[in-house]
Amino acid sequence: MGSSSDHTKEHLFPRIPIPVRDGILAGLAVFVIALSSLLLMDIEALRQQRITIKDSLERTARTAAGLVDGDAHQEMVRSGKVEPATYERLIAPLVKFHHRAPEIAYLYTLIEKDGQLYFVLDTATSAKSLEFSRPMKPSGFLEPYSSFSPNEDAAEVQAVREGLNFVSRKPFTDEYGSFLSALAPIRDSQGKVVASLGIDMSVADYESRLSDLKKTGFLSAVISAFTGMLLGVLVWWHARQALRHEQGKWQATKEKADLEARDRRVIQSLGQIVYRHNFAMPQGGDEIIWEGETEALLGYKSSEMPRKTEDWFSFLHPDDRARETTAFLAAIKGRATSYEGEYRFRHADGRYIWLLDRCLILRDASGSPLLVDGTLLNVTERKVSDERFRTVFEASTDPHMLVARNRVIDCNQATIEMLGLETKADVLRQPLAIHWPDLDETSSWDTTVFRGLHRFESYKKHISGELIPVDVTNTHLTISGEEIMLVVWHDLRKIKHAQRELAFSEKKYRELVEGLDQIVFQTNQNGHWMFLNPAWEETTGYRITNCLGRPIDPFIWPDDRERVLRAWNGGKPDSAPFRIVGSTGIEIWVEAEWRPRYDSSGRQVGISGTLTNITARRKTEQEIIAAKEAAEAADRAKSEFLAVMSHEIRTPMNGVIGFAQLLGETGLTEQQREYVETVKGCGDTLLRLLNDILDFSKMESSRVELEQRPFSIRQCAAEVISLNLPTATAKEIALSAQIDPKVPDQVLGDSTRFRQVLLNLVGNAVKFTERGWVELRVTLAPAAPPSEQPDHIKVEILDSGIGIDKDAQSRLFKPFSQADSSTTRRYGGTGLGLAISARVVELMGGKLTVMSEPGHGSCFSFTLPFRQSAAPDSESSLPPATQESKVELAAHPSLKILVAEDNAINRKVISRMLLSLGYSATLVGDGFECLEACEREEYDLIFMDVQMPGLDGFETTARLRAAGKKTWISALTAAAMPDDRLKCQIAGMNDYLTKPYRKADLEASIARYIVARRTKANA
């Protein structure tokens, strides 16, 4: 009999021989050992995989945190509102970073307040710029943050509050996938933690690799089972395990290389320098590896950067080298895990720039340094900003103090002056409580101010004992790791005085508003009356107490209601007239002026304004408008009447003057020639009278427009002298012109009007001088230097005539007036010439004056501003009717001329004049006949009457141009109104003649046509 244990074995393996049993046990042992080893390897591989991913995630978060402007981020959080421009500037580098690292699912910043985390920035708000195909859910500014792992909430809050690095232990899953989260602190320019940057990294690939590892483990277990039963393949099993181990190493190496490549891409996107300082080199050496924008920041390529610690220190500014060398080596040799320093570094171009050096020190188990990973950031601008702060601090007229450790450590001159002390040392020696007498004696500066009293009113005690009211503003700073408070005092004495004055002013203006005749009102956001002064009752008849709180709509006249309410709700200050309904139902016109009212948040809460009763004024305005319309209608009727009268007078005058001229060219006796000349003289006198009346009418209706063309003053003067010379010679008057050589030859102006004034004044001088002399004198005005533009040119017309007494001089420039009735009878005239000349001179920028004594002649003078012109005027598209041709005309009997004139006498006049010039013409009586004649035959020149029955000259010309006819057309018009020349040009006419015309006018018109034809042929 065997033992109990032997019996148990027999029961378990009743039929298995011992060798086989031993083999099975050995196989099982091998299987169990192999399976245990496999499980341990899988567990270690999973652990290493998690460590690798979390390290990469933490590095990415720290790198991204360095992109955030901590100062601007903190300022936006303090303000509690989002300025779009600031938000875009802060988030732009994060969006760029996120775009280059698409494996990041979300990138955001968080702040902690009262144990709760809140979002500030979120790149998901710029999803369009990221250009990712996956959906993203953005978080709003200061939106509460909650993690998907409640067990990690406290750790995340602690990490944000204390500025710690954090990586979630397990992935969390939502509708968009599974993610791992990491947090890294964001620091301001003083190194103070102001927020944390968070990233969520998709772990889909990570979970896939874990799943593959688990599947591989299961497969290995099966293989191990077969390996245990088949001991013969034990060597093969070991070889397979070795191969799998090598594959795992290769995969880890590949993943490490991928992570390093991704880190390099991230570093390049940051615009800063990242370095790795390796202290684990053989023989105890060290090596520095550089990544990032070294050339852009420091001017050196990566290959040119120092590789050893001692080489790096040689690039530092001499004043910083010893300090930084000592501090860095102390951190390396000690137990520090990080180091931060600021120093000046020599740029490749020789200048020094300020760098902020931040690094993490990785040590082995014994505490020896292995690696130092760090970043270099250009902080030159911040250093310059610090200097500016010092300048502002010292120069400010408001007292500034720096407070630390319950004492004042610095102050500016304004502080010394406000306290009435002599030196800065006097301020620094004083206890802090002296400056805040209203604080509790047991309260310290740290517990009272650092805990939230950032702005308040207080009193500062002057050395004389005076308590000065001040507005205190505290700003928390961290300088070199020390908590410092910048305290600014603003003297409130003037403000307090102004507040007292304001209270008095408010009372005064309330009394003023109550006594105004204007209605002063306020409404709320619902459009209800909130305030009305007593003028409301006086104007409308409504009791104020019955109106307050009621809608404004029923008080506005129905026809104006929609317009007024739309304007009042428009949110802009404005004014407009409208009608309100009086208590008796009457229509009351008011002029409203209003502006919107806003609350402290900027929301419109109603409007304020005034209503002025303009009912009487409105009635007066309507009467004025009616009177104005009546006056304008009368003016139009007068203009139409003058146009009709001009046409009706000029038409028969054309026959009178024309036939008188033709008759004068025939063989006449002296007596007959005298009669003809008398008729011509009377016709010319009548024509001048008509022209004066038309000119005066134009000026009365302000329809005179001056041209600005180059012309010669000397030529105008010569023409005026030439025209008046026959009359002067007949009266034995010496007529001359004296023009200063300094007067420019070419000036810009209206030559026609200038000539008209000279003709009037010189003509008057000749007319009122029996014998003696008349002189036209042109000089530069003495007051204007010759180099000054425009030139001021003085014109004087002097004579030795009858002279004018003082009383008569005052009436000279009035319409229809002369010196006295005897001169009118003796010399004739309408009395409009001087009035027209004075108006023209005023339009040209001058003033016509006279100096005269009876029996000693007269001097009429004026001064006009003229700008010089470098070249004479070019030919206009429509030459003036009085323009003299410079072309010597030969006989052109071959010209085909067509005359369209409805008046039979005028047809005869123009045909005879043309015949005397050597031309024959075809005559038609209206526009229709003109069109038919042009269809039958091509003409070189058409003289076209403007005013014809049936089809006038304008329409006839328009139809000829529409038909493609390019015939030269000269207009014949008896209207001579201001717009006639322009109308002719618009209709397509080439020339313009005013009735009555003379043979010389026809000759000049034909000459202009010949010149134009020759010019076109030579072009």
pLDDT, tens only, 284-321: 678 898 888 888 889 998 888 999 888 889 999 999 99
Q: What is the separation of C-alpha 111 from the centre of its chain, rounded to a whole number of angstroms?
A: 37
Amino acid at 414: A
Average of pLDDT values for 81-93? 88
The pLDDT of residue 34 is 61
pLDDT tier for residue 15 given thresholds of 50, 70 and 90? very low
Q: Are residues 861 and 723 in the same domain?
A: yes
- Tokens standing for 146? 């909650």
Lowest-pLDDT range of 224-238, 481-495, 661-675: 224-238
- Tokens standing for 465? 């004992």
- pTM greater than 0.85: no
Question: Mean pLDDT over all residues of the chain?
Answer: 80
Q: Of 19, 21, 26, whose CA–CA distance to 9 is shortest?
A: 21
Q: Are residues 525 and 446 in the same domain?
A: no
Amino acid at 555: F
Q: Are 701 and 740 in contact (CB under 8 A)?
A: no
Last residue of a domain, one of 555, 579, 613: 613
Express each pLDDT in 120-130 by its tens digit. Answer: 999 888 888 88
Q: Are 34 and 228 in contact (CB under 8 A)?
A: yes
What's the CATH number where 198 sits? 3.30.450.20
- Tokens standing for 298? 């420091």
- Rounded to 5°, the CA angle 84-88-92 comes to 175
Within-domain flag for 504: no
**Is residue 103 scored above 60 in pLDDT?**
yes
3 state SS of 395: helix
Torsion 645-651-656-661 (CA) sign: positive
Backbone dihedral angles phi then psi of residue 383, each to the nearest 5 degrees: -65, -40
| HEC-encoded secondary structure of 293-318 | CHHHHHCCCHHHCCCCHHHHHHCECH
Within-domain flag for 677: no
Within-domain flag for 209: yes
As a whole number of angstroms, the distance between CA 344 and CA 867 comes to 65
Express each pLDDT in 149-202 by its tens digit. Answer: 666 778 888 888 988 888 887 777 777 677 888 999 999 888 899 999 999 887
Q: Which residue has the higher pLDDT, 499 or 989?
A: 989
The pLDDT of residue 321 is 93
Express each pLDDT in 801-819 by its tens digit. Answer: 888 888 777 777 776 555 4
Q: Which residue has the higher pLDDT, 131 or 219?
A: 131
Note down the domain range covering 370: 271-383
Backbone dihedral angles phi then psi of residue 989, each to the nearest 5 degrees: -80, 155
Within-domain flag for 651: no
- Tokens standing for 243? 């191969």
The pLDDT of residue 212 is 63
Backbone dihedral angles phi then psi of residue 509, each to the nearest 5 degrees: -75, -30
Q: Are residues 991 and 844 in the same domain?
A: no
What's the CATH number where 989 sits? 3.40.50.2300
Within-domain flag for 659: no
Q: Are residues 124 and 28 in the same domain?
A: yes
Q: Percent of the chain beyond pLDDT 90?
A: 25
**C-alpha distance from residue 889 to each of 740, 875, 997 (Å):** 35, 19, 19
Q: Are residues 29 and 157 in the same domain?
A: yes
**Is residue 429 scored above 50 in pLDDT?**
yes
Within-domain flag for 8: no
Q: Are residues 80 and 206 in the same domain?
A: yes
**C-alpha distance from residue 330 to each of 323, 334, 367, 886 (Å):** 11, 6, 13, 105
**Helix 84-100 vs helix 70-79: crossing angle, to nearest 10:** 130
Average of pLDDT values for 712-736? 89
**Is residue 55 scored above 60 in pLDDT?**
yes
What's the CATH number where 783 sits? 3.30.565.10
Q: Are residues 813 and 917 in the same domain?
A: no
Q: Are 535 and 520 in contact (CB under 8 A)?
A: yes
For residue 796, give the DSSP letter. E
For residue 884, give the DSSP letter. P
Q: Are residues 376 and 410 in the same domain?
A: no
Q: Are residues 171 and 237 in the same domain?
A: yes
Last residue of a domain, one of 568, 595, 613: 613
Q: Are residues 862 and 992 in the same domain?
A: no
Q: Are residues 279 and 266 in the same domain?
A: no
pLDDT tier for residue 829 given thresholds of 50, 70 and 90? low
As a whole number of angstroms, the distance between CA 778 and CA 534 comes to 70
Number of domains into which the chain is organized: 6
The pLDDT of residue 216 is 64
Within-domain flag for 389: no
pLDDT tier for residue 240 given thresholds of 50, 70 and 90? low
Q: Are residues 237 and 305 in the same domain?
A: no
**Is residue 732 scored above 80 in pLDDT?**
yes
Within-domain flag for 490: yes
pLDDT tier for residue 10 given thresholds of 50, 70 and 90? very low
**C-alpha distance from residue 961 to each of 466, 939, 1002, 1011 (Å):** 96, 14, 23, 21
Last residue of a domain, one of 222, 253, 270: 270
Partners of residue 922 on adjacent β-strands = 898
Q: Of 800, 717, 789, whose CA–CA distance to 755 is shortest?
A: 717
Alpha helices (runs of H) in 13-135, residue ranges in sequence order: 18-65, 70-79, 84-100, 127-130
Helix (H) or strand (E) holding 1017: helix 999-1018
